[in-house]
Amino acid sequence: MIKTVDPTTIPQPELYSILSTAVAPRPICFASTIDAEGNVNLSPYSFFNVFSSNPPVMVFSPTRSGRDNSLKHTHQNVVEVPEVVINVVNHAMAEQMSLSSTAYDKDVNEFVKAGFTQVPSVKVKPPRVGEAPVSFECRVLEVVELGQIPGAGNLIIAQVDMIHINDDYLTDNVLDTEKLDLVGRMGGNWYIRAIKESLFEIPKPIRTHGIGVDALPKGIRESDVLTGNNLGR
């Protein structure tokens, strides 16, 4: 049985639950920003990804509050000062990162509340997180508001101008996925950890030209033993 849902007919919290649980795991943008008065903010967002490597552009989305429709301090700050540092989050930072998502007043510094080290940036005003394996200093190119109602997203489109990499996470001068030990968001209160036991590697079919499942003999395609993964391999 397949449950079919029209998103316009269900309450927003239920829709959010479906979206955030099904579209997962999601990387975490740990965004540090600053307002015109110099107040620093540090908040995590999992509606986030990298969308271009040349130029290097990342996008994350602080959504309007589902309770009172208010805008996140991060959104307000990048409108005033269009700069952001996107820090990546590993397992060693997870609990502190979660604490920083508390709805503190605008003049409260989440670096201090969560116990993170505030390190001056090189090209932008917001500081970076000293404990982060990698930090990206970015200038905000555009803010795209997707709506004016509770739950509406606001796309922060940011271009990377400087990258800071902790060399503890390098192997032969290349970022090491296992060493990074990154975490991602799932639905509800769940997170996922990218440790060795949960990683697997699939070579890209760039140099080899896959014949495709449709080119396999019918007896193999319709096998009761072989899975879709077996056929794809």
Is the pLDDT confidence value at 131 over 80? yes
DSSP-assigned letter for residue 74: H
| pLDDT at 6 > cutoff 90 | yes
Amino acid letter at 57?
Answer: V
SS3 163: strand
Res. 209: pLDDT tops 80:
no
Consecutive H or E run containing 96: helix 94-100
Domains of the chain: 7-198 (2.30.110.10), 202-233 (no CATH)
Sequence-ordered list of residues with C-beta below 8 angstroms from that of 133, at least 6 positions apart, any chain = 88, 90, 165, 166, 168, 169, 180, 182
Dihedral angle of Cα 195, 169, 59, 160, to the nearest 10 degrees: -170
What's residue 143's pLDDT?
98
- Does residue 129 contact residue 110 with C-beta atoms inside 8 Å? no
Half-sphere exposure (CA, 13 Å, Cβ side) for 68?
A: 4
Quote the pLDDT of residue 128: 99
| Local confidence band at 232 (pLDDT 50, 70, 90 cut-offs) | confident
Q: What is the pLDDT of residues 76-95, one digit of tens each?
A: 999 999 999 999 999 999 99
Stretch 160-183: mean pLDDT, rounded? Answer: 98
